[in-house]
Amino acid sequence: MIKGQMSLGDLVAFNGFLWMLNGPMRMSGWLINDAQRFIASSFKIRDMLKAESKIPLHAEKLPHTIEGYVEFQNVSFHFEDDPTTDILKNISFQVKPGQTLAILGETGSGKSTLVNLICRFYDPTSGQVKIDGVDAKKWQARELRQHIATVMQDIFLFSDTIEGNIAFGAPDASMEDIRRMARIADADHFIETMPESYDTIVGERGVGLSGGQKQRISLARALLKQPSILILDDTTSAVDMETEVKIQEELKKVTHQMTTFIIAHRISSVKDADEILILSHGEIIERGNHEELLEKQGYYYEIYHKQLGTEVDHNG
């Protein structure tokens, strides 16, 4: 019609085709957008996979096994982002293979930071952490951690079966060993009552577990690894006192070959340790074994009496 070159039918068809193009055009917009996001994300993922740990890895290989002798020599530590605040100040101690060191102290006093130096999540700002007499910095963090099992304060379970979660650090473990460790951690009983026992899926996409149940599963996981050094950071804080005492009794039977670090709040968990450190604002304010600390009549003595309740206050 316009200049007589297009019929009405042509115009309608042309209009129709234009509309048909609309969908694919918009689609290609999305596709380009998605492709760009894919490219950007894959670069980020590649960078993350390639990232080197801030802690330098050294070439020296660890001996095949370690004895578990742990020594701190005047260790101080501050975080990079806050160099003026010493989180740990001049910490020194020695723990022989098979011994237990307990750490007590109010929240924020530096307990977790201290044990994190042993597996080289951080390195000291000054002083030395020695393992089997060698500066821990000489060893690859990854190798060192094969000999250390840590039950962290913030427990992480994988979306996997209970069995898979316990066997995480020891993929060749037998079912018999898995059950034995679960019994020591007092987890066997509640696991048996779960819908599919050890095959029950837990974690983010599975059955929800209580804090105390998670703690016991990760304790079993740590024990199964049969480490030279075992670190328990507040591991039994979420279980009741009676269960905690039971777990501690069972633990003693298997930890005599491991150097054990126990961070706890209840005296019942620390009283049998070879040495107990009391931390306050990153400093050791008291140290000794249970009897020595009671004699000092200081911080430890006070908590002991608070925890025993009024009963002991009356009886002396």
Nearer to ligand ATP, 81 or 176 (CB): 81
Nearer to ligand ATP, 105 or 203 (CB): 105
Packing angle of the helix pair 211-224, 175-184 (nearest 10 deg): 130
CB of 37 to Mg ion, least distance (A): 38
* Residue of 120, 287, 279 whose CA lies nearest to 130: 120
240-254 residues labelled b (16+ CB within 10 A) or e (exposed): eeeebeebbebbeee
Binding residue for ligand ATP, selected from 99, 112, 218, 255, defined by CB under 6 A = 112
Residue in 69, 77, 100, 113 binding ligand ATP, rule: CB under 6 A:
113
Percent helix / strand / coil, the chain, rounded to 5: 45, 20, 35
Q: What angle do CA 151, 92, 260 make, to 5 degrees?
A: 30
Which tokens belong to 145?
Answer: 């951690």
| Residue closer to ligand ATP (CB basis): 120 or 179 | 120
In single-letter form, the type of residue at position 21 comes to L
Q: Give SS3 for 20.
A: helix
Binding to ligand ATP by residue 248, rule CB under 6 A?
A: no
User: Which of the stretches 106-114, 170-178, 285-293, 297-305 binds ligand ATP when contact is defined by CB under 6 A?
Assistant: 106-114
For the four alpha carbons of 301, 92, 56 and 84, in that order, the dihedral sign comes to positive
> What's the min distance (Å) between Cβ of 289 and ligand ATP?
21
Among 108, 174, 256, 306, binds ligand ATP (CB under 6 A): 108
Only segment of 16-24, 107-115, 194-202, 254-262 that touches ligand ATP (CB under 6 A): 107-115
Residue 163 Cβ, how far from ligand ATP at the closest point, in Å?
30
Select the residue interacting with ligand ATP from 68, 110, 124, 227 (CB under 6 A).
Answer: 110
79 binds ligand ATP (CB under 6 A): yes
Binding footprint of Mg ion on the chain (CB under 5 A) = 111-112, 153
Give whichever of 224 and 279 is closer to ligand ATP, judged by the CB atom.
Answer: 279
Asked whether position 120 contacts ligand ATP by CB under 6 A, the answer is: no
| Closest CB to Mg ion among residues 73, 237 | 237
8 Å CB contact between 183 and 253: no
Closer by beta carbon to Mg ion, 89 or else 183: 89
> Cβ neighbours of residue 98 under 8 Å, at least 6 residues apart?
68, 256, 257, 258, 259
The region of 108-116, 127-135, 155-163, 297-305 touching ligand ATP under the rule CB under 6 A is: 108-116
Residue from 66, 72, 75, 111 in contact with ligand ATP (CB under 6 A): 111
CB of 244 closer than 8 Å to CB of 307 = no
- What is the DSSP code string of 49-96? HHPPPSSPP-SPPPPSS----EEEEEEEE--TT-TTS-SEEEEEEEE-
Q: State both tokens at 251.
A: 């633990």
Provide the minimum distance between the beta carbon of 106 and ligand ATP in the complex, in angstroms, as a whole number.
7
- As a whole number of angstroms, the distance between CA 68 and CA 227 comes to 9
Is 75 an interacting residue with respect to ligand ATP (CB under 6 A)? Answer: no
Query: Should residue 109 be labelled a site residue for ligand ATP when binding is judged by CB under 6 A?
Result: yes
Give the footprint of ligand ATP on this chain (CB under 6 A). Answer: 79, 82, 87, 105, 107-113, 153
